[in-house]
Structure 1
């Protein structure tokens, strides 16, 4: 995935936290200061996401327990969506439930069939505090649900069930993360 022009040369790559780090299991705090440090955080998040070849990244995945995520992914019609949401709320997750392979930068190398809704809407604000509403279908809807889950202290394996959950737990216990 290529970097958008705005992200070129900006941001510092930070290490992505792995499953087992307590920051991934803690609900994130709302952003209260819309300043240069928030801009740097978002730049660092994009740089870190691109370095890890991800489609989305939540702030807690780089050790910052704030309600922010960035994304660069396509929807089910192939349209590319690039952006960020501060203090996001998942206001809609509906439509068909699709069970497709999903992975996570915090659980590298693992992919499991994960149920997600085909449509999602997130509302929040941008880096300047201006309202934003992001709506997605297909893979982009999956991304929106995945990243908002991170900010609630969840990882995608929390929504698995049955054999997929058992397989994920075996992989984690076996040290494949």
Structure 2
């Protein structure tokens, strides 16, 4: 396990659409572990592969570790399958845009489907911080930054 170098605003990989993951192998499992180590080291709640220079559709989150036991999640080839019409605007930060905050509108809840590191399909509904974090990281996989979807505070 290793802490990977972060990419920052202005790096071209952050504005590109990431490629789907096709190989569910030891390298993918190692990447997920390294991404979690990097996220925890940077004190973030989520991290997408493009933020560490890898153009693949994988992100990790752990929205509870700062207040409770860690509950890491790994999302491979994630998709939002449904979302609330209601949105909420709230402040967000980004590890690739340090020391800046943006008010970003997000759906109140989302339904997602994704694969785990073994390729198994998963589905779940997320709300609150987990929905915000998943939307934020999925935006990274689509080359969208909070500078484009929110207003700086």
TM over 0.5: yes
Instruction: Please say if residues 46 and 70 of structure 1, whose CA atoms lie closer than 8 Å, have aligned partners that are also in contact.
Output: yes
The unaligned stretches of length 5 or more in structure 2 are: none
Could you tell me which residue of structure 1 aligns to residue 112 of structure 2? 122
Q: Which has the higher contact order (CA 8 A, sep 6+)?
A: 2
Instruction: Please say if residues 8 and 97 of structure 2, whose CA atoms lie closer than 8 Å, have aligned partners that are also in contact.
Output: yes
Q: State the Cα RMSD in Å.
A: 1.8
Aligned ranges 1:86-165 → 2 under 5 Å = 86-160=76-150, 164=151
4+ long deviations beyond 4 Å: 78-81
Instruction: Please say if residues 85 and 132 of structure 1, whose CA atoms lie closer than 8 Å, have aligned partners that are also in contact.
Output: no
3-state SS of 1:50 partner = helix
Instruction: Please say if residues 56 and 143 of structure 1, whose CA atoms lie closer than 8 Å, have aligned partners that are also in contact.
Output: yes
The answer as to 2:11 corresponding to 1:21 is yes
Looking at structure 1, the residues matched to 94 and 139 of structure 2 have their Cα atoms a distance apart, in angstroms, of 12
Aligned ranges 1:3-18 → 2 under 5 Å = 11-18=1-8
Looking at structure 2, the residues matched to 143 and 79 of structure 1 have their Cα atoms a distance apart, in angstroms, of 18
Could you tell me which residue of structure 1 aligns to residue 73 of structure 2? 83
The unaligned stretches of length 5 or more in structure 1 are: 1-10, 169-177
Instruction: Please say if residues 102 and 146 of structure 2, whose CA atoms lie closer than 8 Å, have aligned partners that are also in contact.
Output: no
Looking at structure 1, the residues matched to 31 and 45 of structure 2 have their Cα atoms a distance apart, in angstroms, of 17
TM-score (norm 2): 0.91
Higher alpha-carbon Rg: 1
